[in-house]
Amino acid sequence: MVGSRLAEAAVSGPKRIGFVYVPQGMVMTRDVDMWTPSSTGTDFELTPTLEPLAKFKSRLTVVSNLSGPEGGGQHAGAAATWLTDSELKMTERSDVEACVSIDQIIAARLGKETMVPSVQLAVEDVSDLKGFWHTGYNYRYLNTISWRSPTEVLRGEIKPRAVFDQLFSARESSAQRAFTRRSILDTTEDSTQDLLKRLGVADRLLLSEYLENIRQVERRIGAAEVSETPLEYRERAGIMFDLMHLAYQADVTRVVSMMMAREISHLRYSEIDVNDSHHALSHHQNSPETMASLGKINRYHVQLFSDFVAKLDKTPDGEGSLLDHTLLVYGSGMSNGNDHDSTRLPIALVGGLVAGNRHIRLAPTGRPLGDLHVDIAKVYGVELPAFGQRNHGETVGLS
């Protein structure tokens, strides 16, 4: 909602960024690779896992042959090094250590202009992991991708109500409003109606749609809280993506990270007829049937992500859309989960801030993840001479 004098500025900003993590890799064996396009450049064809993003191929960049650091632990290293590219401290106690993550470096710049510097979201409960360690690494490494400092983990929030309060705080808590069946919009009804009367037709429609989005999310959160049966994964992830969308639309924050599931995830996806544990399926032993089931999960995650991308694309933002002014990074800290392989990582970028319709295959194989993060930081005006423990200023060629 800007006047004509600000239209030019609106085209170039504000810029937003989101990091969306999926655990336990993809179907990416030597013989069966459902993720990596076979050709490079602009002529690449979408693989079965990436096919749900077909509508956004012109905004899609796939980056191949990046690797995570060695010695970071198996599942622990996959998650905790994805945005840090650093080796982890091996500890079964709570004194975890990595590096500042790239989302927090960008948030230090973009967060000065928003109410909330960054938001961390998650879908899967991790309470059953407390006191657990994996190959000598504390459980806290398994369920986070964001680090404010080398020793401060930013935990992903799994409760939609808590996220909603973080984004739209008010004197009356959302719990109180839920009890009285009132919306947060009821507290601003008079001023909202006054504003609507003073807006032009286009801006009135834009504001009305935004307010309706808030109401719908509130209703879905309320329904989830009183439901006697657990929600399907699609609904749980969908609510978090909708909160992410609202955060961008209201410009409450410009930096969001989200874990669609944690490492060593035992989620089952009955809604797509996959009833075995995700973690068990990731150790497929090259079984065609097991890889087919894992492939369905991988594609399902991309489909839900694509639905979110579509919502950003349909949401006006200045002279363009939210997608025009956002870069989303999607991927995992493993390639072939059967081997806990941290090379050839599956990474895709979607949005309007870098050139799309590209498959960048890096050479040699095994380039550090930090090369990507340094390049992403440049998009947001952050020049890094080095990042993590392996990068020395190299980039992957996004620009």
Q: What pTM value is reported for the model?
A: 0.94
Pick the closest to residue 253 from 376, 398, 121 (CA basis).
121
C-alpha 35/C-alpha 46 separation (Å) is 8
For 26, left (φ over 0), alpha (ψ -120 to 50), or beta?
A: beta
Report whether 240 contacts 166 (CB < 8 A): no
Report whether 331 contacts 309 (CB < 8 A): no
How many Å from the N-terminal Cα to the C-terminal Cα in the chain?
30
Count of C-beta atoms within a 10 Å radius of residue 383: 8
Which ranges of the chain have pLDDT less than 70?
1-13, 71-72, 131, 170-182
Pick the closest to residue 47 from 264, 359, 255, 293 (CA basis).
359
The residue ranges of DSSP E strands in the chain, in sequence order, are 16-21, 60-64, 66-67, 119-122, 133-134, 137-138, 146-149, 152-154, 255-259, 316-317, 320-321, 326-331, 347-351, 358-361, 367-368
Residue with tokens 């919306």: 183
DSSP, collapsed to helix, strand or coil, labels residue 396 as coil
CA atoms within 13 A on the CB side of 346: 29
Beta-bridge partners for 347: 63, 331
- Tell me what pLDDT residue 143 has: 85
Report whether 20 contacts 305 (CB < 8 A): yes
Residue 201's identity, in one-letter code, is V
Q: Give the CA distances from residue 47 to residues 27, 37, 225, in Å, rounded to whole numbers and listed in that order.
A: 11, 6, 38
Q: Which domains does the chain have, with CATH numbers?
A: 4-168+199-379 (3.40.720)
C-alpha 138/C-alpha 146 separation (Å) is 16
Beta-bridge partners for 26: 336
Query: What secondary structure does DSSP assign to 172-200, as a single string?
Result: S-HHHHHHHT--GGGGGHHHHHHHHHHS-
Q: Which residues contact 213 (CB under 8 A, 6 or more apart)?
A: 242, 245, 246, 249
DSSP, collapsed to helix, strand or coil, labels residue 138 as strand
DSSP, collapsed to helix, strand or coil, labels residue 63 as strand
- Tell me what pLDDT residue 239 has: 97
- Tell me what pLDDT residue 25 has: 97
Report whether 83 contacts 146 (CB < 8 A): yes
Pick the closest to residue 313 from 326, 302, 303 (CA basis).
326
C-alpha 323/C-alpha 312 separation (Å) is 5
124 token code pair: 């899967």
Report whether 342 contacts 65 (CB < 8 A): no
Q: Are strands 152-154 and 146-149 parallel, antiparallel or unpaired?
A: antiparallel
Beta-bridge partners for 120: 257
Question: What are the pLDDT digits (tens) for 310-357?
Answer: 999 999 998 899 999 999 999 999 999 999 999 999 999 999 999 999
Q: Which residues contact 336 (CB under 8 A, 6 or more apart)?
A: 25, 26, 27, 28, 29, 344
Asked whether the CA dihedral 68, 70, 74, 79 is positive or negative, the reply is: negative
Residue 294 belongs to what H/E stretch?
Answer: helix 288-314
Pick the closest to residue 81 from 313, 361, 308, 368 (CA basis).
368
